[in-house]
Structure 1
Amino acid sequence: MSETVMDRAASATPKKVARRIRGLSDRTIAWLFVAPTVFLLLAVNIFPLIWTIRLSFTNFRANRPNAEVKWIGLRNYERILTDSDIWLTMQATAHFLIWTIVFQVLIGFTLAWLINKKFKGNDLWTTIIVFPMMLSPAVVGNFWTFLYQPQIGLFNYVVAFFTGADPASFSMIGEVALAPWAIVIVDTWMWTPFVMLICLAGLRSIPDTIYEAAECDRASKWRQFWTITVPMVLPFLMLAVLFRGIENFKMFDLVVQLTGGGPGNTTTLTSIDLKREAFEKWRTGFSSAYAIILFVTVFGLASIYVKALNKVKER
């Protein structure tokens, strides 16, 4: 039946078209199918990038479309790199980025190592631990905002006990020094399961025969951990750090839900600052230069990190 349909299709194809198709290589035919998708991706990704680069050299404002657009060269970049407030914002972003990754890696790897022991109720505890990352950041933000309210939040009581503050009026997200740590706690709670799952995949990819050979050589559990487990899980761990680093560098919704960037500017990350410049102050050219600097920073760091990751994989 299928041969009859194919024969009919072949006979219905014009001879000129049939000759052209027969003359095409498999590679060319493959590109004909892939070309529309490639063109769409270039249109969606490359064109906005080029347009943003162009705007970064101008004084364009989106709320004044009829105003004269002047070419000002590198002035926007100079303003950004010499603005002390922007450097403080970058420091706040670096603080958030480093500490969330440190806590998520330590806790996530520990949880993965424990779950890999395959104890009774393993599947139930895995589901419970993974639950936070299933929630929307907006839901998590509202939930933890409620927990950080005075007289309710556990963390408020603990910190108030050590600082001598009144728990009835104390809130971590209202304190200049503690608000950044409040966000770190929430992001760690939400995304540690993600790191745990990647580490768990790495742990379960290690053949049992390697541990059996190490036991035959009378290697201790501690020795096995540092010479077998850690080196073989390290590529997975580095991959998790890469994913979480990129995501946390552009963190926006969770921080806005919790603190809105305050108190003061202690939790104003670069993504929030960029949004304010683009859609509150309407400094489109300035914000375009800001976005390009952030893009180059992330792309450069990620490229260096990926090279290091590839070297670790080759060992």
Structure 2
Amino acid sequence: MGLKKETGDKLFSLILLLPAVITTILFIVVPILDSVYRSFLDFKIKNIISGTAGTWNSFQNYTRLIQSGKLGRAIAVNLIFVVAVVVLQFIFGMSLALILNQKIRGSRFFRSIMMIPWVVPTVISGLVWMWFYQPQYGLLKYLVSFFSGGRVTEFAILNDPKTAIIGIMIAALWKQVPLGALLLLAGLSNVPMDMQEAAAIDGANYWQKLIRVVIPSMLPVIKVTLTMSIIENFKQFPLFWTMTGGGPNGATTTLAVLSYREAFVSNNLGSGAAVTTLWMVLMIMVVFLFNKALRTER
């Protein structure tokens, strides 16, 4: 009787999971496999219009992208952006979480309003920051002019290849830090107080308690927060396309932007699929290595 009940429970669990499994296969696994397959084809927009299948061209899409130099540069921009934003997001998010974890007046109110940047659609965020950076009438221009005593009258951060990526990083941090802070705050509130009190009795100061007690206790939450941040910033497209379109001179062309340009600007869907495939593989590798490093550290 017990064996039958256990078998029935397992079968019922599988039936409940079936819709989610089917949805995942249809809308995630199948499109990924289709994209990988098309990356080995000479497949353009005209093939869709005419209803003809693409022709097999092996690794030509990949070799052309590598030889053009566009792929290497996009990977470099992507990695710089991801590393910088993830590290800064953790620093700012952790700092904000530590502040909000204190019993200070107005902390609950600030917890409520700090999520506003995160809930604003990414495209709207990009447009807001474009206005802020606007070199003729943007707020940043007036701030720089005021604090420089009028010596600097123009500050076109998005028009300079050296600073455009920094402008997008700031916009990304403005949007993502609140969520990171909220997740870290949840982890921080679950750190046992008796461990912190024991460390204080042993003579540990604030920083020693933070590094040796608090952060080790928060490692699972930190791991989830950083993994989410890595994935989010690897696939970041709306901010780049809205604010710079990948310019100036390709300074902000990430793998997401390059994939879009190859597929829908150059009308080469096979090449776009090749970029997407490499982009997916690189993201999986980075997340895997990060999680492996964190396990080793632990």
Distance 1:231 1:220 in 2: 16
Q: Deviations over 1:152-209 (max 9, x none)?
A: 4454456678999975443211222111111111111111111111111121111111
The equivalent residue for 1:206 is 191
* Contact 1:150-1:167 at 8 Å conserved across structures: no
Q: Does 1:282 align with 2:264?
A: no
Q: Deviations over 1:278-314 (max 9, x none)?
A: 11111111211221111111112222323344556xx
Aligned with 1:215 (options 200, 206, 217): 200
**Which sits farther off after the overlay, 195-204 or 81-90?**
81-90
Distance 1:186 1:41 in 2: 32
* Contact 1:195-1:237 at 8 Å conserved across structures: no
Q: Deviation of residue 72 (structure 1)?
A: 1.3
* Contact 2:255-2:275 at 8 Å conserved across structures: no
Distance 2:136 2:19 in 1: 58
Aligned with 1:85 (options 52, 57, 70): 70
What value does the CA root-mean-square deviation take over the aligned residues?
2.7
Q: Structure 2 stretches of 5 or more lacking a match?
A: none
Aligned with 2:41 (options 51, 54, 58): 58
Change (3 A) 1:166 1:285: farther
* Contact 1:278-1:284 at 8 Å conserved across structures: yes
Q: Deviation of residue 119 (structure 1)?
A: 0.5
Change (3 A) 1:96 1:33: closer
The equivalent residue for 2:105 is 120
Aligned with 1:266 (options 246, 251, 254): 251
Distance 1:271 1:165 in 2: 39
* Contact 1:108-1:196 at 8 Å conserved across structures: yes
The equivalent residue for 1:38 is 21
The equivalent residue for 1:15 is none
Change (3 A) 1:68 1:35: closer
* Contact 1:151-1:167 at 8 Å conserved across structures: no
TM normalised by structure 2 equals 0.88
Residue identity in the other structure for 1:53: V
Q: Which has the larger radius of gyration?
A: 1
Change (3 A) 1:35 1:255: same
The alignment-based identity, stated in percent, is 28
Q: Structure 1 stretches of 5 or more lacking a match?
A: 1-20
Distance 1:72 1:34 in 2: 39
Change (3 A) 1:239 1:35: closer
Structure 1 residue matching 2:80: 3-state secondary structure: helix
Q: Does 1:306 align with 2:291?
A: yes
Residue identity in the other structure for 2:251: T
Aligned with 1:190 (options 175, 186, 193): 175
* Contact 2:118-2:179 at 8 Å conserved across structures: yes
Q: How many residues align?
A: 293
**Which sits farther off after the overlay, 48-57 or 247-256?**
48-57
Q: Deviation of residue 259 (structure 1)?
A: 1.6
Aligned with 1:147 (options 100, 118, 132): 132
Structure 1 residue matching 2:35: 3-state secondary structure: helix
Residue identity in the other structure for 1:283: N
Distance 1:262 1:82 in 2: 20
Q: Deviation of residue 31 (structure 1)?
A: 2.4
Residue identity in the other structure for 1:59: D
Structure 1 residue matching 2:169: 3-state secondary structure: helix
Distance 2:23 2:208 in 1: 52
Q: Does 1:97 align with 2:74?
A: no
Structure 2 residue matching 1:82: 3-state secondary structure: helix
The equivalent residue for 1:9 is none
**Which sits farther off after the overlay, 96-105 or 63-72?**
63-72
* Contact 1:151-1:168 at 8 Å conserved across structures: no
Q: Deviation of residue 59 (structure 1)?
A: 0.6
The equivalent residue for 1:129 is 114
